[in-house]
Amino acid sequence: MKILLIGKTGQLGWELARSLAPLGELTAVDRRALDLADVASIAAAVRGVRPQLIVNAAAFTAVDRAQAESAAAHTVNAAAPGILAREARALGAALVHFSTDYVFSGDKSGAYVEDDRAAPASVYGQSKLAGEQAVSASGVAHLILRTSWVYAARGSNFLLTMLRLARTKAELAVVADQFGAPTWARMIAEATALVIARCGGTPQAILDTLGRCGGVYHLSAAGRTSWHGFAEAIMQEAGLAAKVRAIATAEYPLPAPRPANSLLATGKIEQQFGISLPRWEMGLKLCVEELGLRTRQNGVSREPVR
């Protein structure tokens, strides 16, 4: 099977390049080879590879910058996925695309299910929702995986920001009234590869399975915490002494509004594909260990993605 992975240098793309490699002939590209901001070049780039499966891990993820650069955000997050979907359908290929908890307003008291009404409050969320809709409307056999609070040992993310700040500051002020489930990029990548394998592993089996039961699925770690709780756990796991002070969202204004509740219910993917991720604390322990800030002697025992 020929697989085209877009966005190989991102925090999720880097992990996907390793998880997808055993499934077939993998072509992993970065912006130099396929730039989603240049929509006129997308079709030719895809046709040059002629993949049987496209996995799109590229996105405009600068949430606050998107407020001022809405056209750029919509080009990458909405128009480009639509083109990828149309090209995939024309080639008889399937498409895996990643989306976000930001498609929801965050007003719900419990975890969001896939059929809950999307009402994004930010330009970033609006552009990602438009991308979902473009993929769905194309008629391609597809899988859209919504995830939340993604972090990794590389890239730009909350974990690395907290570790950097904690080395120079005695106290960190972190929002305590936004809730979600921090999700390690490696577990998302492994779960993605597992879903593809459980579709049958061959191009035709994937097309048949995703044509029958594809669509939107939520994929995030189990459990619940706030950004403040996540930051405290980071300090503890990394053995850093910085104090984490709880503040309200109103005390840390940003250009783009964030959902107060980012919890995603994952029962659908568990029922359909038998996939579940461990609690968020396990992913954090393993990622911190990868960074060299934690050792096996601390008792890490990995619960695998299954």
Burial of 222 per CB tally in 10 Å (0-12, 13-18, 19+) = middle
Task: Identify whether 298 is part of a domain.
Answer: no
Number of domains in the chain: 1
The residue annotated as part of the active site, out of 124, 151, 217, 252, is: 124
3-class SS string, 32-46: CCCCCCCHHHHHHHH
Three-class SS of residue 53?
Answer: strand
Task: Identify whether 238 is part of a domain.
Answer: no
Structure-token pair, residue 42: 């997308």
CATH (domain of 15): 3.40.50.720
Task: Identify whether 149 is part of a domain.
Answer: yes
Task: Identify whether 268 is part of a domain.
Answer: yes
Task: Identify whether 94 is part of a domain.
Answer: yes
Task: Identify whether 195 is part of a domain.
Answer: yes
Task: Identify whether 49 is part of a domain.
Answer: yes
Q: Which domain holds residue 51?
A: 2-155+183-221+263-278
**pLDDT tens-place values along the chain, 306 residues long:** 999 999 999 999 999 999 999 999 999 999 999 999 999 999 999 999 999 999 999 999 999 999 999 999 999 999 999 999 999 999 999 999 999 999 999 999 999 999 999 999 999 999 999 999 999 999 999 999 999 999 999 999 999 999 999 999 999 999 999 999 999 999 999 999 999 999 997 999 999 999 999 999 999 999 999 999 999 999 999 999 999 999 999 999 999 999 999 999 999 999 999 999 999 999 999 999 999 975 443 444 455 566
Token match 């990458």: residue? 76
What's residue 305's pLDDT?
A: 63
Burial of 167 per CB tally in 10 Å (0-12, 13-18, 19+) = exposed
Contact (Cβ atoms closer than 8 angstroms) between residue 68 and residue 110:
no
Task: Identify whether 113 is part of a domain.
Answer: yes
| 151 is an active site residue | no
Structure-token pair, residue 68: 């001022």
